[in-house]
Amino acid sequence: MINSMSREAVRFLCRTSLKRSAPIVASGFQGPRRVQRRAFSRTGALKVVKPYLLADIGEGITECQVIQWFVKPGARVEQFDPICEVQSDKASVEITSRFDGVIRKLYYEQDDMARVGKPLVDIDIQSEISAADEALLKNGSEKQTDKEAPNPTEPADEGLEVGRNDTKAAIGDAPLPQPQSLPSEPPKDEPKSRIPGKHASLATPAVRHRIKEMNLKIEDIEGTGREGRVLKEDIQRHVQSLKETTGAAASAPIPAAQQVEDQTRPLTPIQAAMFKQMTRSLSIPHFLYTDNVDFTSLNVLRKKFNANKEKASRLTTLPFIVKAVSLALQQYPLLNAHLDTTTDSSKPQIQIKGSHNIGVAIDSPSGLLVPVIRNVQSHTIESISAEINRLSGLARAGKLSSADLSGATFTLSNIGSIGGTAVAPVIVTPQVGILGIGRARAVPAFGENGEIIRKEECVFSWSADHRVIDGAMAARCAEAVRQNLEQVETMLVRLR
């Protein structure tokens, strides 16, 4: 009886029980039952705005410069999607997302200095629901706001509210409607945009440095690289188009010359690091020493080795110099050390390093960088050359890591690759020595029998921390390096 009358009973009860919820006796029931109107509830999307902190990207790094943003507020990101690129005093790093969600806030503008451990962006975490469910919830809430709010004193008797999208099914004389089905195609997600504008603000540090030198805006340059990345060729093409535009307008009257205003801009991360380092170096009393080194026999050996070699495999003089310095440091280990004056300023300590981690200064598009060749004492000259080529390529591309730039125990500055014969190199703390290499040149000299001969000569300029290194030790170390290079065959015999 109950089963056969359940449909009619439910309709009857729904129409009458809503009126003050009075007890109703239905035919076929044993006694009165109080029936009250109930509605299904729905739970909205769980949205948690989570601040994304800038993690530690390297030892001793407390701040870094925001080079470019890959997202903007409102853009949807997924885990491991790139958010921005930052530049420290050592290397550039691409920051990726750890969550799925929507970017709500950027805490820094481009070129601002971001602090490590502080919020970088706010991400609205929405991983608990799918995009289709989120669209349905949003659609339902919009429909609900369009309708007039019901009077609380007179409940509506349309029926039960069912479904997460607020679809109302009225239980009355009309047949029950079928539940609303999900759309055949899920609504499109919010834009997951890596490119914030018409043109992508994507470029390597070398390209960005070139753009700044030419006073151009990266947004004005059409990028033809992957994902709209701006290449060097794009800069040249953009400059050429500007010249053509200027040439077309050459017939126009030339306006009066405008006075060029002064510009004030903050230091780049690399410049800021150099500022701090050189300020600390001012406290070091430098002992300076120069000597001429004959490269004649070394260049003869190099030419023999480089014969029939591809350009990438040819040896320069720099790998030989690096190895010669390492052999000299084995004889004079005090020059391969760090001076610790911070642990206890009243009792300085010197830490003699077992490994020869030699830094080689490189002039990169973004500034002076000093990548480190580790364990030179275990390298061959050929492997040193390969490591120099690898580090130079990373420096030009702005891809050196913090590990590539830290831990040097001695430094070489090959200033001769740019120009100049002699230099007074500045010691990089906490190291106690540095060698500056001038440009090699051909000079006239006297032979064994007094005849005039041609020699290839280079000036080596040494600086040592005179607080712990005396002049005699620095001169002996420099003499050992000179003999290793001038008698290169003897040096090769000593290699491991």
Tell me the pLDDT band of 15, cut-offs 50, 70 and 90.
Answer: low
Residues with Cβ within 8 Å of 309's Cβ and at least 6 positions away in sequence, in order, are none
In this predicted structure, the answer to whether residue 150 has a pLDDT above a threshold of 50 is no
Given a cut of 60, whether residue 389 has pLDDT beyond it is yes
Give me the residues paired with residue 351 across strands: 338
Copy the structure tokens of residue 338: 């760090």
198-209: per-residue pLDDT in tens?
A: 334 567 777 777
178 vs 48 pLDDT, higher one: 48
3-state helix, strand, coil in the chain (%, to 5): 30, 20, 45
16-33 in b/e burial notation, b at 16+ Cβ within 10 A? ebbeeeeebebeeeeeee
Strands 358-364 and 372-373: antiparallel
Residue 231: pLDDT band (50, 70, 90) is: confident
Pairing of strands 358-364, 410-413: parallel
User: Is there a contact between 432 and 426 (Cβ–Cβ < 8 Å)?
Assistant: no
**pLDDT 10s digits, 57-105:** 776 678 888 888 989 999 999 888 899 988 877 677 889 988 888 999 9
Burial degree of 297 (CB within 10 A; 0-12, 13-18, 19+): middle
pLDDT bin (cut points 50, 70, 90) of residue 141 is very low
Chain mean pLDDT for the chain: 78
CATH topology of domain 205-242: Dihydrolipoamide Transferase (4.10.320)
Lookup result for tokens 């009619």: 8
Among all residues, which ones are annotated catalytic? Answer: 466, 470
pLDDT, residue 8, reads: 58
Strands (E), 193-300: 286-294
CA dist., res. 492 & res. 490, Å (int): 5
Q: What are the counts of helices (DSSP H) followed by strands (DSSP E) for the chain?
A: 10, 20
Fold of 269-493: Chloramphenicol Acetyltransferase (3.30.559)
Residue range 120-124: mean pLDDT, rounded: 91
- Residue 368 near residue 400, CB atoms below 8 Å: no
34 confidence band (pLDDT: 50, 70, 90): low
CB burial of residue 379 (10 Å; 0-12, 13-18, 19+): buried
Within the chain, which residue ranges are assigned CATH 4.10.320.10? Answer: 205-242
Most distant CA pair in the chain, distance:
136
**Contact (CB, 8 A) for 450 and 420:** no
| Residue bearing the bigger pLDDT, 351 or 493 | 351
* Residue 41, pLDDT above cutoff 80: no
Count Cβ atoms below 10 Å from residue 143 Cβ, excluding itself.
Answer: 13
Q: Provide the percentage of residues in the chain whose pLDDT is more than 70.
A: 71
Band of residue 126 on the pLDDT scale cut at 50, 70, 90 = low
What is the per-residue pLDDT across 171-192, written as a single tens digit (0 to 9) for each? 344 454 454 444 444 444 444 4
Model confidence, pTM:
0.59
pLDDT digits (tens, 9 = 90+) for 16-33: 554 444 454 555 555 555
Torsion of CA 207, 209, 212, 217, to 10 degrees: 30
The more confidently predicted of residues 184 and 54 is 54
List, for residues 459-486, the tens digit of each pLDDT value: 999 999 999 999 999 999 999 999 999 9
Q: Where in the chain is the domain with CATH 3.30.559.10?
A: 269-493
Residue 5 pLDDT grade (very low, low, confident, very high; cuts 50, 70, 90): low
Residue count of the chain, please give it.
496
H/E element, 471: helix 471-486
pLDDT tens digit string along 338-385?
999 888 888 999 999 999 999 999 988 878 899 999 999 999 999 999
Looking at residue 421, its pLDDT comes to 87
